[in-house]
Amino acid sequence: MQRSVKAYQVGSTPALRTMKNNLGNYTHQVKDPERFIRFDLTEGDCWFKDQVADWFKEINIDDIIHYPDERIIKTKKLLARWLHMKEENIAIGSGSDELIEMIPNIFIKPKNKVLTVSPSFFRFIESSLRAGGEVATTRLDGGSGFEWSNKTIKRLIKKAKDKRVKLIWLASPNNPTGIDIPKHLLSEIIRLGKIVILDKVLNGFTKELREASQLIWNNPNLIVLSSFSKTFGLPGLRFGFAIGSADMIKKIESQRLPFNVAGPTLFIVEKLLLSLLGNKIKINDGLKFIEEREFLKREIDQLENIRLASSSITNFILLKSKERINLFSELLKKRILVTNLNKTVGIKNKNFVRLTIRDRKQNRILLEALKEIDNHFH
């Protein structure tokens, strides 16, 4: 049940090309993404976008004509207040993506192993291999909708006890399954003492993120990742952050390029954090997607040949079609771009696709297309 992914040499371009082709990298799926309705990117819905546009009108031009503060201290102070943490516990990245790229470079040496589950976010494997590490994965059980079970945790822990395993990547909610890891299972993993990277970008809302962050006080081996891309629907800003013990964060900061986040991004993030702290922007107002998700789920449940493959709690859903239907290609013909997971470790060539929930208008277009495909293969 356990799978190993071959390790590639650092800096070896052909190997990295092979790796990208084999890991289900789902950017660059088509040459002309602008020609499609895009359900492929896990963007959240920005419910306060008029406010964001207004903030840009007030932009402080000093943030553009000067280099950003190399320590990003002002933004960190606000973020720390919002998270109930200290500045020394926060590192800031150009999206969580940059942090995912940096972390294995810092903590993994060649021949070290990293461990993750499958299916999970392809970037965990990609960046680990690029850092020269070896990757092992424990498979989640598709038959049970990819939910965590005692069996899964036992297998993961057995594998994690290998001395060569230095780092464990976990996304919660997981991508592309959309499922949270139960707290007691997470605790079991953290207790192993390996470096655990907990990716919380998919429910980086105050409560869930704060709860996860509090764990770092007793667990200096834990790093929590989040960003403003999904929760706040602001992926264009490229703003992510890592929360960890002062020691861990210091290591990340020492490798971070001093000016990794653009001035306009920091300006808007600060405006947003002040509004959150002042309760002028309310997280609860951003939960409209839940209603849309449940609407989509109900409709998809009516289909014959296409089914929901997991009980996602986040802003995307996972679908599976019968073997004779290549759902990705069929949707593509209808100008709909979803995420093709046929190369994703753990669910290869099984016709899984991931779809981000959009607004009712776009969701109806999607449903129409799914129904047509479903009927066509009747």
Whether the CB-CB separation of 303 and 374 falls below 8 Å is answered with yes
From 188-196, 263-271, 321-329, 343-351, give the range in contact with its own copies by CB under 8 A: 263-271
Size of the site for its own copies (CB under 8 A): 64
Which residues, 55 to 74, sit near its own copies by CB under 8 A?
Answer: 56-57, 59, 61, 63-71
* By CB under 8 A, residue 299 contacts its own copies: no
* By CB under 8 A, residue 251 contacts its own copies: yes
Whether the CB-CB separation of 235 and 356 falls below 8 Å is answered with no
* By CB under 8 A, residue 183 contacts its own copies: no
Nearer to its own copies, 20 or 159 (CB): 20
From 101-109, 141-149, 289-297, 298-306, give the range in contact with its own copies by CB under 8 A: 101-109
- Do you find a cis peptide bond into 110, omega within 30 degrees of 0? no
Name the residue among 272, 99, 286 with its Cα closest to residue 207. Answer: 286
From 255-263, 302-310, 318-326, 344-352, give the range in contact with its own copies by CB under 8 A: 255-263
- Pairing relation of β-strands 134-139 and 3-5? antiparallel
From 89-97, 174-182, 203-211, 325-333, give the range in contact with its own copies by CB under 8 A: 89-97
Question: Helix, strand, coil % (nearest 5) of the chain?
Answer: 45, 15, 40
**Distance of alpha carbon 13 from alpha carbon 233, whole angstroms:** 33
CB of 34 to its own copies, least distance (A): 7
Whether the CB-CB separation of 222 and 244 falls below 8 Å is answered with yes
Among the listed residues 15, 192, 262, 325, the single contact to its own copies using CB under 8 A: 262
Nearer to its own copies, 135 or 140 (CB): 135
Among the listed residues 24, 132, 176, 204, the single contact to its own copies using CB under 8 A: 132
Whether the CA torsion 91, 93, 95, 98 is positive or negative: it is negative
**Distance of alpha carbon 218 from alpha carbon 159, whole angstroms:** 24
From 9-17, 82-90, 309-317, 340-348, give the range in contact with its own copies by CB under 8 A: 9-17
**Distance of alpha carbon 358 from alpha carbon 336, whole angstroms:** 12
Whether the CB-CB separation of 368 and 344 falls below 8 Å is answered with no
The angle subtended at Cα 224 by Cα 185 and Cα 43, nearest 5°, is: 100
Chain positions contacting its own copies, by CB under 8 A: 9-13, 16-17, 20, 27-28, 33-34, 41, 43, 46, 49, 52-53, 56-57, 59, 61, 63-71, 94-95, 97-98, 101, 105-110, 131-132, 229, 233-238, 251, 254-255, 257-265, 268
